[in-house]
């Protein structure tokens, strides 16, 4: 028997607009600056520093990019296995190299 949901579905956009238009001051003064003081907010963010770089973290050995042609049915079969299909192709190729695949 399915459960019945008692909560409303979706976002009440009218309420969001109403509360945004009210421009009510923020009562939380426990932070590093007064969020109601524009100068304090600006000063705080001017002194802020980024502690982490953007993008992926650096790796010890970077994998080269490869453009390779494969049969459409082979590619479809790997993609059908879901996320990680490129990693699985790499594992198959690594296994072939480990077992000494010879030239055709």
Calculate mean pLDDT across residues 49-71. 84
In contact, 36 and 27? CB cutoff 8 Å? no
On the 0-12 / 13-18 / 19+ scale of CB atoms within 10 A, 35 is: middle
Segment 16-52, tens digit of pLDDT: 888 888 776 666 667 788 878 889 889 988 988 877 7
First to last CA, the chain: 60
Flag whether the pTM goes above 0.85.
no
Segment 91-101, tens digit of pLDDT: 999 999 998 87
| pLDDT for position 63 | 83
| pLDDT for position 101 | 79
Residue 2 has pLDDT above 60, yes or no: no
Residue 5 has pLDDT above 70, yes or no: no
């Amino acid at each position: 028997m399915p459960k019945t949901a008692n909560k409303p579905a979706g976002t009440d956009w009218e309420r969001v607009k109403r509360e945004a238009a009210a421009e009510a001051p923020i009562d939380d003064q426990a932070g590093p600056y007064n969020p109601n003081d524009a100068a304090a907010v600006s000063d705080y963010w001017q002194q802020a520093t980024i502690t982490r770089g953007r993008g992926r973290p650096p790796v010890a050995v970077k994998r080269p990019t490869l453009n390779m042609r494969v049969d459409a049915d082979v590619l479809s079969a790997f993609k059908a296995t879901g996320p990680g299909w490129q990693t699985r192709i790499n594992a198959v190729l690594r296994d072939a190299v480990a077992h000494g695949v010879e030239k055709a």
